[in-house]
Structure 1
Amino acid sequence: MQEKITKRKLSVKKVLTMLLFFVAIVSSAQTYEFENGTRTNNADIQNCDSCSGKIVGNLGGNSSVSVNVNVATTGWYNLKLFYCTGDPRTIRLTAGSATTIAIPCEPSGGWSTAASKNVSVYLNSGTTTLLWDNTSSWAPNLDKFVLSPIGTSSTQTISFGANNSIVYNLGTKTYNVKFNGATVITNASAYAYSDQQYLSVNYATATYTSEAFTDNIGSGTKHIFTLSGNYTLGMQQVFYAYNNKNYVAVQVVLTGNGSNSYKMSPLTSYQVTPNFGSGDTRALFVPYDNDAWIRYNAYPLTSAEFTASEVTNIYNNTNRKGLVIGSVEHTKWKTGIAVSGGGASSAYVSVIAGWTKNDITRDQRGHGWVNVGQTSCASPKVLLNANDDWRTGLEEFGQANAALQPKYIFDWTAPKPMGWNSWGAIQSNINLTKAKAVVDFFHDDCPAFKTEDNTLFIDLDSYWDNMSDAELAQFVTYAKNKGFKAGIYWAPFVDWGKYNRPVEGSSYTYNQCWTMVNGNPLELDGAYAMDPTSPGTKARIRYFMNRFKAAGFEMIKIDFLTHASIEADGFANNQLHTGMEAYQEGMKFLVDEIAGKMLVQAAISPNLATGPFVHVRRIACDAYTSIGETDYTLNSTTYGWWQNKIYDYLDADHVVFGNASIGENRARLLSSVVTGTITSGDDFSTAGAWKARSQLLLQNNDVLNVARADMHFVPADGNTGYNAANVFSATYNNVTYVAVFNYSNTATTNNVSLSRLGLGSGSYSVKELYSGTISSTQGTLSVQLPQADAALYAIYQGPVLSTPNYNWGNASTNYVFPNPATNTFQIKFDHSINGPVAISVYDLVGKEIWKTTTVAEDMISSEIPVQHLAKGVYVVKVSTSGNKVQNFKFIKQ
């Protein structure tokens, strides 16, 4: 009996031991080799000397590998992935029915050299199939992965806005972000590169404190998690919760002696999963500047694989919900937002302060070090903002940028500027005679094209130095006497000569001022970059600004500013170590030298960092007549319009009519109206079709009144990828203005939903402002456009369209021009006319002294000869079809 009992006890002990062994196995690290998984299509097993065994290669497209895992407990697990790749590639992981996550893999050192990275995955108890693939591109070779359970630990919850919160895990040093109660960002971590790589998840302990704070955005509570242990430097993960704001700002800070850094991330998450519901989900690539015809791109989230400059927006174009993630500080860092779509509802996102890329930021070396020699180093503040309308989210991001980096330049209080620029058509042929002829054209032949305060900016672009200083001063005086303001152009931070010589206005030579990168002058856009901190560069700026101010110029277009933000081997100011720090110094010096004397417009320049230093910024560059170039400029407006919260005005580049079709001309002009300001660009010193087109289009006061008003157009949709939206709208004084474009070479019909434009279900009056055609609509605006054309509609309720009233000169909708005249005049009608026009001329006592018949095309008559009339004042009576009679007062010189 005793023997039986002993055997029974041994059996129970054996079972318990086996159970404990099984629990230990499933609750500790488990290693899975990919070569033991199930492969599809071309995926194969390859040798790897540095791996734990073999690797699975040829992954991507329709080739995948899947591995079954078994865990005892439902919860979060750390997955340490071992991979091999010679170039940057992404692998996507789907754990059972969970949302697919993207895992970008940096080069490991070769196709058979292994590297590793850690990812958090949520697994249910039991067996789960992990599918590894990349349907849109090649994937890295895969060696193995190790699963380890993440133990439970205490959390700290931070509330902000309405039902939004940060849930910080004090054990893992990661955090979740919830908007409207739903988790949108999961297990976000931080890192900083200094003397070594500091990872938030590897610190031993985290403690929490909070304090009140105030910055230019507002006041609130600053939440600080201080990390220590396992590293020589400390780290803080900081969250700024603003009162009455539905967004939060995040930041990472290195602390301790020697805590300088060249790369930091306050947020890196493999699971950004906005709760968008079904629909067309997108992720927005934002360029760093507007050079080299770069474009914005709204990628479908499933195929997104990019790094955007400073900000991105992940959004649903169908229901318009969106998530903005972007830096709101640009004084030290260039920041990239890396996005890799895991599917239609998830993405990997990493905010990288210290990011450069040659074809985007124009840099040819890595980012400089920040806070050298100091005891702390902070990343920029990064805004997280979920919104019911992705467009509103970007506008709030723009407002936050403007608040945190307020204007350094003087406030612009005059009305919206409009004008002409010589680069559009005259280019290198500009001279005093041509410049004066352009002034005469606008004064005599196109008098209704003026700003609200009755002027224009007539701007000499590059090659203005064809003229002497005396001729420049003469041009300024000539323009001023005609009621206009003269503008000039200059690129303060580039050397087009690219050879050593004395620097104007200084004792320095050019080779002392060039920006050196990797031991050589940095050449970009055909010019050498000049160090913005160099005393020689500054002396040159002072010399030219003094010339421009002495001549009396009231406007300056500054160009190629990106050259001043380049990461360099070093700067003349050796206290600065990054391109953005140098940019700040150079731009402040330039603005100080301008001394409040000129309206300042930036051409090629960084999108966001230029905001404090200029009044107007071109949103694109070098677009001319064709409908394709209008699509290019409006691509930047479609996805960058929100920068009107940072700049006083945006400009879509010069409007050149040339010999293009009337439809392309309408579209070209409307692109500027939609973007912000109008800058005409034709050569009005010579005869050509562009003169009549300008007289017609630039004197349509219905259109010009929209351009003059302080209204901001937004895109109706953001699903156009590399191209522009075709519908934009703005509401002003209870009138909704709708711009519709056709960029194609065939006629189109657009059925524009009024509810999508924010209008109700009632009946509306509609006026097309180019033609003057009036109609009515309800629910939908049906727009039929010929190829390469555009239309502008005013939608309103009531019998009369309420428009701005600008009380000056020839602001009426019909008039004689030029007036006075010597040889000929023309008539601008208030409606479209195609046919004969009877004209009678009377003296002041009412005697008819001459009459003739001419023809009109659209809203402009042909030229009417008056050289035979004696000098004096006359009344011109005009009769058109339908016996409509109009009278004009006319002066013969």
Structure 2
Amino acid sequence: MQEKITKQRLLIKALFTTTMLFIALYTSAQTYEFENGTRTNSADIQNCDSCSGKIVGNLGGNSSVSTNVTVSAAGWYNLQLFYCTGDPRTIRLTAGSATTISIPCDPSGGWSTAASKNLSVYLNSGTTTLLWDNTISWAPNLDKFVLTPLSSSSLQTIAFGTNNSIVYNLATKTYSVKFNGATVITNASAYANSDQQYLSGNFATAVYSSAPFTDNIGSGTKHIFTLSGNYTLGMQQIFYTYTNKEYVAVQVVLTGNGSNCYRMSPLTSYQVTPNFGTGDTRAVFVPYDNDAWIRYNAYTLNSADFTASEVTNIYNNTNRKSLVIGSLEHTKWKTGITVSGGGASSAYVSVIAGWTKQEITRDKRGHGWVNVGQTSCPSPKVMLNAGDDWRTGFEEFAQANAALQPKYIFDWTAPKPIGWNSWGAMQTNINLTKVKAVVDYFHDDCPAFKTQDNTLFIDLDSYWDNMTDAQLAQFVTYAKSKGFKAGIYWAPFVDWGKYNRQVEGSSYSYNQCWTMVNGSPLELDGAYAMDPTSPGTKARIKYFVNRFKAAGFEMVKIDFLTHASIEADSFTNYQIHTGMEAYQEGMKYLVDEINGTMLVEAAISPNLATGPFAHIRRIACDAYSSISDTDYTLNSTTYGWWQNQIYDYLDADNVVFGNVSIGQNRARLLSSVVTGAITSGDDFSVAGTWKATGQNLLQNDDVMDAARNDMHFIPSDGNTGNSAATVFYATHNNVTYVAVFNYSNAATTNNISLSRIGLGSGTYNVKELYSGTVSTAQGTLSAQLPQADAALYALYDGPILSTPGFNWGIAATNYIFPNPASTTFRIKFDHTISGPAVISVYDISGKEVSKTSLVAEDMISSEIPVNNLAKGVYVVKVSSADNKVQNFKFVKK
């Protein structure tokens, strides 16, 4: 009996030992060597001296490796991946039937030098196959991975908006974000690079606290997770939830003496899964500036592998649902948003404050240190915003940017600026005679091309210094005598000479002002960058701005501003250490010197950081007359139009008609109407077909009425990659304007769903504003375009004359201007009027409500008062001494 009991005890002990060994095996770290996995195609086993054994190489394309892992309990596991690579590469991981995740791998130091990184994966109990591949490009060599179960977590849930929440794991120091109840961002972590790299997950403890806060966006609650232990410095992960906002802002802060940083990430997640459903899911590359013909690009998510500047938008073009991730502050940091697609609905995303790349930010060295000598170093606030329309998401991001970084420059209260710039065609050939001839052209031959307040900006671009200061003053006086405003051009932070000499207006030398990078002056776009904090640079700004003021200029176009944001070896202001800090100082000084005297337009410049300092910004630079130029500028409008929430106006660079086809002319003009403000660019001082084209297109009152209105066109679709959308639309005074483009060399038919542009199922009257053709549309608008052409349609519900703000049927050679008008108007006749003329005004019922006589001034009438007329639409009948009768339509506002 005793023997039987002893055997039973031994059996139980053996079973217990086996069970404990099994549990230990599957609840502690497990190491898997990749050379023991299953390889496909060209994947092979290679030697590696610094690895745990062999490595698997030649991964990528159709070559992969898979490993089976077994765990006893479903849950989250830490996966430490060991890899080797000599350049940045990406490996993708698919765990069973789970969504594929993308794992970017920084260079490890060589192809046989191992490095590691940690990520979280969810595994079901039992055996799961982990597939490692990269179907798009080459992958790193793989050594091994170590799986460790994550301990049971303590979760802190923070609600915001409507059914949105942040779920923070106090054990792992990671967080997930839910929108509308669905997890969109999983297990995001934070890091900061200072004297060493501080990883949120490696801190010993996390403690939660909260406090109310108010910023320029609004009020809400600041949720703070304070991390400590295992490091000499501390860290805070902060979440800002706003009352009545559906988005959240996230920030990381390094704390303690010596906590200055040069690189931080408040959000790095291997699993960003918006789960938009079926359809065309995209991620947008956003450039840092508008230089060197750089383009936006809406990549399919599966092929996305880029770092966007400041913001990206992951969205479904089919149902328009989106996730916007972007920096809201640009005073200290340059921020990049890395997106690496893991599949059609999954991506790795990392927000990197302290990001530079020469091809994008134009920097030739790394980012400067932030908050040197201070006891804390915060990243910028970063918006996380999921919504039902990717276009609204972009606009909400821009509005939040404008709120957190409000205007430093004075408010622009006049109507939308419209004008002419010499760089379009005149370029280096500026002289007083030519620019006065341009003024005469617009005054005498193209008078309907004006702003709503009946003026025009005539802007002298580079090479204005062909003229003396006395001639510049003469030009300003002449432009004013014709009712126009004179503008000028300057690049305040560049030295085109690139040799040492005395700085204008100062005792400094140019070599004292150059921005030094890696011990040498930084050359960009053919010019040396100038240190914005240098007193010599500032003295030069004061000197030139005072010259512009003395001449009487009312507008200035400032260019090559990116030069002022370059990361440098050091700055004259020793308290400044980053390019964006230097940019802020230089731009503030420039605006202070202008002192509210001039309209300010920015040309080449950072997209977002320039917002507080300019009224107008060029959406893209160096475009002229061709249809390819139109595609280039409208690519930026397609994916960057939302910057009109940051600037008062955007423009699409020079509208040059030149000698290209009339279709290309229509498209080029319409690109500016869609983008915002129009800047004409032909040399109207000399004869050419562009003069007649300007008289025709720039005085089409229907098109110009749309251009002058304060409305914003948005793209109908965002699935065009690095090309432009073909359809844009806007609504103003119950009229929907639809701009349609054909960038190709063949005729096209574009059948536009009216529901896609926000219209109902009814029948709409349609007028194509270039041709005047009137039709109707129900359900679909069919736009048939010749090669390289464009059309602008107005869709409205009701009779034509009841449509506010329209002046239908005006000929291009004779017209009333301004129209609409509130006090007076004048008439441009199509021939010289000799002797008196009788002006009769009739309301739309045919009743004569006014009658007067005038004597025409050549082909332009004197002013005709309309103060006593009620608001509405009128017919103006002109009976001249030569017995010729002309009729016009006029809108009294």
Q: TM class by shorter-chain length?
A: over 0.9
SS at match of 1:678: strand
CA distance in 1, matches of 2:250, 2:522: 34
Deviation at 1:888, TM superposition (A): 8.8
What is residue 822 of structure 2 aligned with on the other side?
none
The letter for the 1-side match of 2:93 is: L
Aligned in 2, Cα 1:266/1:818: closer, same or farther, shift over 3 Å? closer
What is residue 6 of structure 2 aligned with on the other side?
6
Deviation at 1:800, TM superposition (A): 1.6
Residue by residue over 1:482-506, the C-alpha shift from the partner in whole angstroms, topping out at 9 and shown as x without a partner, is 0000000000000000000000000
Residue by residue over 1:645-703, the C-alpha shift from the partner in whole angstroms, topping out at 9 and shown as x without a partner, is 00000010010000010000000000000000000000000000100000000000100
The letter for the 1-side match of 2:836 is: L
Residue by residue over 1:628-651, the C-alpha shift from the partner in whole angstroms, topping out at 9 and shown as x without a partner, is 010000000000000000000001
Deviation at 1:811, TM superposition (A): 12
What is residue 855 of structure 2 aligned with on the other side?
none
Q: Does residue 485 of the first structure (1) align with residue 485 of the second (2)? A: yes
CA distance in 1, matches of 2:770, 2:626: 19
Within the candidate set 875, 882, 886, 2:880 is matched to 875
The letter for the 2-side match of 1:255 is: T
SS at match of 2:266: strand
What is residue 434 of structure 1 aligned with on the other side?
434
The letter for the 1-side match of 2:294 is: I
What is residue 788 of structure 2 aligned with on the other side?
788
Deviation at 1:875, TM superposition (A): 2.2
Aligned in 2, Cα 1:696/1:457: closer, same or farther, shift over 3 Å? same
CA distance in 2, matches of 1:321, 1:379: 28
CA distance in 2, matches of 1:601, 1:411: 13
CA distance in 2, matches of 1:682, 1:398: 33
The letter for the 1-side match of 2:259 is: S
Deviation at 1:153, TM superposition (A): 1.6
SS at match of 2:677: coil
Aligned in 2, Cα 1:541/1:842: closer, same or farther, shift over 3 Å? closer
Q: How does 1:701-720 map to 2 (within 5 A)?
A: 701-720=701-720
Q: Percent identity, please.
A: 81
What is residue 844 of structure 1 aligned with on the other side?
836
Residue by residue over 1:405-426, the C-alpha shift from the partner in whole angstroms, topping out at 9 and shown as x without a partner, is 0000000000000000000000
Contact in 2 for aligned 1:91/1:133 (Cα 8 Å):
yes
CA distance in 2, matches of 1:888, 1:793: 22
SS at match of 1:146: strand
SS at match of 2:63: coil
Q: Does residue 521 of the first structure (1) align with residue 505 of the second (2)? A: no
CA distance in 2, matches of 1:290, 1:595: 26
CA distance in 2, matches of 1:612, 1:841: 50
Aligned in 2, Cα 1:887/1:389: closer, same or farther, shift over 3 Å? closer
CA distance in 2, matches of 1:677, 1:601: 11
SS at match of 2:415: coil
CA distance in 1, matches of 2:152, 2:545: 64
CA distance in 2, matches of 1:58, 1:478: 71
CA distance in 1, matches of 2:194, 2:347: 27
CA distance in 2, matches of 1:357, 1:888: 58
SS at match of 1:719: coil
SS at match of 1:739: strand
Deviation at 1:5, TM superposition (A): 2.9
Q: Does residue 72 of the first structure (1) align with residue 64 of the second (2)? A: no
SS at match of 2:343: coil
Q: How does 1:601-616 map to 2 (within 5 A)?
A: 601-616=601-616
SS at match of 1:671: helix
CA distance in 1, matches of 2:204, 2:131: 33
What is residue 226 of structure 1 aligned with on the other side?
226
Residue by residue over 1:844-869, the C-alpha shift from the partner in whole angstroms, topping out at 9 and shown as x without a partner, is 399xxxxxxxxxxxxxxxxxxx99xx
Which runs of no fewer than 5 residues in structure 2 stay unpaired?
818-826, 839-857, 860-877
What is residue 864 of structure 2 aligned with on the other side?
none
Contact in 2 for aligned 1:68/1:128 (Cα 8 Å):
yes
Q: How does 1:243-642 map to 2 (within 5 A)?
A: 243-642=243-642
Contact in 2 for aligned 1:876/1:888 (Cα 8 Å):
no
CA distance in 2, matches of 1:828, 1:196: 76
Residue by residue over 1:398-450, the C-alpha shift from the partner in whole angstroms, topping out at 9 and shown as x without a partner, is 00000000000000000000000000000001110110000000000001000
Contact in 2 for aligned 1:815/1:888 (Cα 8 Å):
no
CA distance in 2, matches of 1:57, 1:878: 91
- Which segment is superposed worse, 11-20 or 272-281? 11-20
Deviation at 1:4, TM superposition (A): 3.2
Q: How much is the aligned-residue C-alpha RMSD, in angstroms? A: 2.0
Deviation at 1:803, TM superposition (A): 5.4
Aligned length: 844
What is residue 768 of structure 2 aligned with on the other side?
768
SS at match of 1:213: strand
CA distance in 2, matches of 1:83, 1:780: 54
Deviation at 1:151, TM superposition (A): 1.0
Aligned in 2, Cα 1:806/1:300: closer, same or farther, shift over 3 Å? closer
Contact in 1 for aligned 2:695/2:812 (Cα 8 Å):
no
CA distance in 2, matches of 1:498, 1:840: 55
CA distance in 1, matches of 2:8, 2:559: 90
Deviation at 1:887, TM superposition (A): 5.4
Aligned in 2, Cα 1:608/1:878: closer, same or farther, shift over 3 Å? farther
CA distance in 2, matches of 1:876, 1:352: 74
CA distance in 2, matches of 1:845, 1:534: 64
Deviation at 1:152, TM superposition (A): 1.1
Contact in 2 for aligned 1:432/1:475 (Cα 8 Å):
yes
Regions of 4+ moved over 3 Å: 801-807, 810-819, 826-829, 839-846, 876-879
SS at match of 2:630: helix
CA distance in 1, matches of 2:583, 2:388: 36
Q: How does 1:137-152 map to 2 (within 5 A)?
A: 137-152=137-152
Deviation at 1:6, TM superposition (A): 1.8
What is residue 858 of structure 1 aligned with on the other side?
none
Deviation at 1:392, TM superposition (A): 0.1
Deviation at 1:11, TM superposition (A): 1.8
CA distance in 2, matches of 1:888, 1:122: 73
Deviation at 1:841, TM superposition (A): 6.6
The letter for the 2-side match of 1:259 is: S
SS at match of 2:167: strand
Contact in 2 for aligned 1:842/1:874 (Cα 8 Å):
no
SS at match of 1:543: helix
Contact in 2 for aligned 1:705/1:804 (Cα 8 Å):
no
What is residue 691 of structure 1 aligned with on the other side?
691
Contact in 1 for aligned 2:324/2:394 (Cα 8 Å):
yes
Deviation at 1:15, TM superposition (A): 1.4
Which runs of no fewer than 5 residues in structure 1 stay unpaired?
820-825, 830-838, 847-865, 868-872, 880-884
Contact in 1 for aligned 2:702/2:806 (Cα 8 Å):
no
Contact in 2 for aligned 1:445/1:817 (Cα 8 Å):
no
Contact in 1 for aligned 2:837/2:879 (Cα 8 Å):
no
The letter for the 1-side match of 2:638 is: T
SS at match of 2:655: coil
- Which segment is superposed worse, 10-19 or 208-217? 10-19
Residue by residue over 1:725-772, the C-alpha shift from the partner in whole angstroms, topping out at 9 and shown as x without a partner, is 000000111111000000000000000000010110011100100011
SS at match of 2:631: helix
CA distance in 2, matches of 1:99, 1:157: 25
CA distance in 2, matches of 1:878, 1:328: 66
Residue by residue over 1:452-498, the C-alpha shift from the partner in whole angstroms, topping out at 9 and shown as x without a partner, is 00000000000000000000000000000000000000000000000
Contact in 2 for aligned 1:766/1:796 (Cα 8 Å):
yes
Deviation at 1:817, TM superposition (A): 8.5
What is residue 882 of structure 1 aligned with on the other side?
none
SS at match of 1:359: helix
Deviation at 1:813, TM superposition (A): 5.5
Contact in 2 for aligned 1:877/1:887 (Cα 8 Å):
no
CA distance in 2, matches of 1:711, 1:50: 62
Contact in 2 for aligned 1:284/1:313 (Cα 8 Å):
yes
Aligned in 2, Cα 1:279/1:37: closer, same or farther, shift over 3 Å? same
SS at match of 2:800: coil
What is residue 237 of structure 1 aligned with on the other side?
237
Deviation at 1:16, TM superposition (A): 1.3
What is residue 199 of structure 1 aligned with on the other side?
199
CA distance in 1, matches of 2:206, 2:391: 37
Deviation at 1:2, TM superposition (A): 2.7
CA distance in 2, matches of 1:348, 1:816: 60
SS at match of 1:540: helix
Aligned in 2, Cα 1:338/1:176: closer, same or farther, shift over 3 Å? same
CA distance in 1, matches of 2:560, 2:595: 21
Aligned in 2, Cα 1:369/1:888: closer, same or farther, shift over 3 Å? closer
